[in-house]
Amino acid sequence: MHASKGVLLAVLTALTPLAGRPAFAEPAPAQSIAAQLQPFVDGHTLAGAVTLVASKDKVLNLEAVGYADVVAKTPMRTDDLFWIASMSKPMTATALMMLVDEGKVNVDDPVEKYLPEFRGQMLAVEQDGEHVLLKKPVHPITVKNVLSHTSGLPFMSRVEHQIDTLPLREAVMSYALSPLKFQPDSKYEYSNAGINTAGRIVEVVSGMPYEQFMQKRLFDPLGMKDTTFWLSEEQASRLAKSYKANAAKDGLEETPVTQLSYPLTSHDHYPCPAGGLFSTAADVATFGRMILAGGTYEGKKYLSEASLRQMTSTQTGSLQNDGKSENGYGFGWSTTRKFHESEPMSPCGHGGAYATNLWVDPARGLVMVFMVQSAGYPNQDGGKIYPTFMKAAEGFAKQ
């Protein structure tokens, strides 16, 4: 009797919105995203997930499915935390564009205007185990280049072993001392170093540490209470465990987040603008709703429409994927080249290394958040999980 009550309580808790969050109607069975993802949990392809769909005005659907801890059979809850990895990038880009709006940064400026250590940076034209041949690039890398992965900076420098092991100032200094891999503007190559450099510009121009700027100018005003580079003990108790395919490729096994330093509650590691944040579905959705609403949330203006439009519009032309698809990249945001200039903003979003995802769809008027902790799925069914979520989430467009 007591065990049954405990299970019922866990289920009800997982389906209940956070206190203070916008209320929404409990989904009918045909609308339940969790029900459509449950077969992946039953098939041991998905450990668990939190999904959220919102308009710019309210949360339309928030559900949890599966387990935060598979072995302990701990049910996933809607307020569980996740390492959102590269979903940190659009948040960092937003912070920088706030400074653009204030007239303190121009995206066409060379990075060296704000970070003098980049003066004289060279381009590697030949390189092997025995020698490196350098020459001057056609132009110094720009703020636009570092925000759009077109700078030629490496993914990370040789002195970085994990994404959070160096203070931001030292990490960015190591990028300035690294030769460029290609001419600026000639290629798209995904680069944590570029977004970290943008984060360093934020702290130099604002006069406060990057992480303080993010907290005071973005997270606190938006009410993103669980978005952090450093987990409290209480937040750590709500962190979903990470999983990867087991050796037999027929199920999941727990895995650490190899890019981060443990323990995750320690303050001995440093904030990474390109991928260091933890968050919840509700917090990520709040950020997405501000973007969907044109840079405004609950009456407060965070971004001008001009800055938001530029940030969320493709800045890479046909460079990404060699022009073979409609993918693009804005400033810290994945975009689509299907965007038309007559529209107020492009569909945009970003994923994270462990399969989390945020997508903002202005045509449908939706923000769609998918939170999991997966370093790889055991079989081909894993590739069906996110499309299943997206198809179900798009069904809320008319609500």
Within-domain flag for 96: no
The predicted pLDDT at position 109 comes to: 98
The predicted pLDDT at position 17 comes to: 38
219 shares a domain with 128: no
Half-sphere exposure of 138 (CA within 13 A, CB side): 8
Q: Among residues 257, 218, 222, which one has the least CA distance to residue 85?
A: 257
pLDDT digits (tens, 9 = 90+) for 184-201: 999 999 999 999 999 999
The predicted pLDDT at position 320 comes to: 79
Reported for 25-29, long-range contacts at CB under 8 A and 24+ positions apart, including other chains, are 27/61, 27/63
Structure tokens at 195: 């977004």
Domain boundary among 161, 185, 207: 207
Which CATH number is 113's domain given? 1.20.58
- Percent of all residues in the chain with a pLDDT value above 90, rounded to a whole number: 78
Mean per-residue pLDDT of the chain: 89
Confidence label for 230 from pLDDT (cuts 50, 70 and 90): very high
Which CATH number is 338's domain given? 3.40.710.10
Distance of CA 186 to the CA centre of its chain: 25
Within-domain flag for 99: no
Within-domain flag for 303: yes
Confidence label for 351 from pLDDT (cuts 50, 70 and 90): very high
42 shares a domain with 151: no
Within-domain flag for 97: no
Confidence label for 128 from pLDDT (cuts 50, 70 and 90): low
Structure tokens at 74: 């701990």
Domain boundary among 152, 179, 207: 207
323 shares a domain with 217: yes
195 shares a domain with 121: yes
Distance of CA 57 to the CA centre of its chain: 22
The predicted pLDDT at position 22 comes to: 39
The predicted pLDDT at position 10 comes to: 38
82 shares a domain with 192: no
233 shares a domain with 187: no
Number of domains in the chain: 2
Q: What is the mean pLDDT of residues 166-170?
A: 96
| Residue pair 183/135 in contact by the 8 Å Cβ criterion | no
The predicted pLDDT at position 131 comes to: 72
Q: What is the mean pLDDT of residues 2-30?
A: 39
235 shares a domain with 117: no
Q: What is the mean pLDDT of residues 204-215?
A: 98
Q: Which of 39-43, 105-109, 335-339, 378-382 has the lowest mean pLDDT?
A: 335-339
The predicted pLDDT at position 2 comes to: 40
Asked if residue 6 has pLDDT above 90, the reply is no
Name residue, tokens 């529209």.
343
The predicted pLDDT at position 127 comes to: 72
The predicted pLDDT at position 125 comes to: 80
> What backbone torsions phi and psi does residue 159 show, to the nearest 5 degrees?
-90, -5
- Percent of all residues in the chain with a pLDDT value above 70, rounded to a whole number: 88
Within-domain flag for 19: no
Within-domain flag for 348: yes
Q: Which helix (H) or strand (E) holds 100?
A: helix 88-101
The predicted pLDDT at position 222 comes to: 98
158 shares a domain with 116: yes
Give the CA dihedral 172, 176, 177, 179, nearest 10 degrees.
130
The predicted pLDDT at position 108 comes to: 98
> What backbone torsions phi and psi does residue 291 show, to the nearest 5 degrees?
-65, -45
Domain boundary among 207, 239, 257: 207
Asked if residue 8 has pLDDT above 50, the reply is no
pLDDT digits (tens, 9 = 90+) for 265-297: 988 899 999 999 999 999 999 999 999 999 999
365 shares a domain with 242: yes
148 shares a domain with 265: no
Asked if residue 263 has pLDDT above 90, the reply is yes
Asked if residue 12 has pLDDT above 50, the reply is no
Q: Among residues 353, 212, 222, which one has the least CA distance to residue 278?
A: 353
203 shares a domain with 220: no
> What backbone torsions phi and psi does residue 259 show, to the nearest 5 degrees?
-80, -10
Within-domain flag for 375: yes
Confidence label for 14 from pLDDT (cuts 50, 70 and 90): very low
Q: Which of 212-226, 309-323, 351-365 has the lowest mean pLDDT?
A: 309-323
The predicted pLDDT at position 86 comes to: 97
> Which residues in 337-346 are b (16+ Cβ under 10 Å) and which e?
bebeeeeebb
343 shares a domain with 200: no
For residues 128 and 284, give the distance between their C-alpha atoms in angstroms, rounded to a whole number: 43
Within-domain flag for 232: yes
Q: What is the mean pLDDT of residues 329-352?
A: 84
CB atoms within 10 A of CB 314: 23
Structure tokens at 364: 């449908």
Domain that holds residue 122: 104-207
Asked if residue 85 has pLDDT above 70, the reply is yes
CB atoms within 10 A of CB 189: 17
Cis preceding linkage at 179, omega within 30 = no
For residues 353 and 191, give the distance between their C-alpha atoms in angstroms, rounded to a whole number: 13
The predicted pLDDT at position 145 comes to: 98
Q: Which of 69-73, 87-91, 317-321, 327-331 has the lowest mean pLDDT?
A: 317-321
